Amino acid sequence: MDREPVAIVGSGLIGAGWAAVFTAAGLEVRAWDPEPSRLAGLRARVRPLRAALKKLQPVRRGRLVLAKSLEEAVAGVRLVQENAPEDIAIKRALFARIEAAAEPATVIASSTSALLWSDLAEEMARPDRLLVAHPFNPVHLIPLVELFTPDPALADHATAFYTALGKRPVRLRREMPGHIAGRLAAALWREAVHLVREGVASVADIDTALVDGPGLRWAFQGAHLSYHLGGGAGGIADYLAHLGPSQERRWATLGQPRLDAEARERLVAGVAEEARGRSVAELEAERDAALVELMRARRRAIS
């Protein structure tokens, strides 16, 4: 990887994760945020993320620069990783400022979790430089990055860039709201909410059914390969022939819940019971420690 600096626009949860990843690769990172107090605390928030990442891969020194303005942050960088809120007006306004200040060859990568490339690019002077590069939280530990651009050359360049950071890029062949992982997660959570609404089980038991059931398989093999093994020696073809109709019967009963007041009340109460008094910070620490061990186990198993 060459040593050209990169910029981070937006230094919240996602921006801090990217700062840890970029600096761990030895890059100079120029960060800017419209909220000065958030930017001022960025180094302190990045430090433990780098420490966690160090348990999985070599971490280089890198350099984190807190820029006084967006224009200062993006001047002369190879890539700008934008992490603004999921508000298309905010992102479009930022893109206009970035385009005015950045070099013509600078790639503008958006961490958007659900907005479409075509909508984001609509008012850009140079939409060919825009890339959707959506990470999965926590950014410093989860390797997935979902990429979309209609330009194959930019897609190739982005794939190589994020792979060199230790990420696992996947490329969308066409844009889709929520990309891939977000849609899969939304589909599963929709059914989990439906089961809570219907009184089938508690929030905690539904989470346990996922974590101690298919979640264990999915950590190593996805849904398609899992069902391939479910077909025995005949694989997915036999599974579809013999058990496909049972899947369709289940699909026909999947819920379409609303996140209304009743649903929110049940979910909030159920999560509070499941958390057993642990704070969000404590739960995050438990998650990150478990993710490190899981990633280590995956590497041993796959190698």
Backbone φ, ψ for residue 38 (5° rounding): -65, -45
Q: Are residues 142 and 38 in the same domain?
A: yes
133, 108 Cβ separation under 8 angstroms: no
pLDDT digit string, tens, across residues 225-281: 999 999 999 999 999 999 999 999 999 999 999 999 999 999 999 999 999 999 999
Q: Are 14 and 149 in a shared domain?
A: yes
Domain co-membership, 167 together with 267: no
Domain co-membership, 35 together with 167 = yes
Q: Which 8-state DSSP code applies to residue 284?
A: H
**Number of independent structural domains in the chain:** 2
**Which whole-number Å values give the CA distances from 262 to 183, 185, 275, in the listed order?**
24, 22, 20
User: Of 113, 146, 171, which residue is a domain's last?
Assistant: 171
Contact in structure between 22 and 6 (CB atoms under 8 Å): yes
Domain's final residue, options 171, 195, 224:
171
Do 167 and 192 lie in one domain? The reply is no
Residue 2 confidence (pLDDT) above 90: no
Kindly state whether residues 146 and 111 are assigned to the same domain.
yes
Q: Are residues 186 and 160 in the same domain?
A: no
What pLDDT does residue 302 have?
82
The pLDDT, as a whole number, for residue 195 is 98
If asked whether residues 103 and 229 sit together in one domain, one would say no
pLDDT for the residue 157 = 97
* Confidence check: pLDDT of 1 > 70: no
pLDDT of the residue at 3: 74
Mean pLDDT (the chain) is 97
In which domain, by residue range, is 38 found?
6-171
1, part of any domain: no
Query: Does residue 10 sit in the same domain as residue 136?
Result: yes
Determine the Cα–Cα distance for residues 286 and 162; give it in Å rounded to an integer. Answer: 27
> In terms of domains, do 110 and 211 share one?
no
Residue 248 lies in a domain: yes
Q: Do the domain assignments include residue 176? A: no
Looking at 151, 171, 191, which one is the last position of a domain? 171
What CATH number does the domain containing 210 carry?
1.10.1040.10
| Residue matched to tokens 């479409």 | 116
- Identify whether residues 40 and 101 lie together within a single domain: yes
pTM as predicted: 0.94
Query: Cis ω on the peptide bond leading into residue 48 (within 30° of 0)?
Result: no
User: Comparing C-alpha atoms, which of 28, 30, 32, 27 is closest to residue 11?
Assistant: 32
CATH of the domain at 167: 3.40.50.720
Pair 54, 186 in one domain: no
Phi then psi for residue 79, to 5 deg, are -150, 140
What is the tens place of the pLDDT at every residue in 47-76? 999 999 999 999 999 999 999 999 999 999
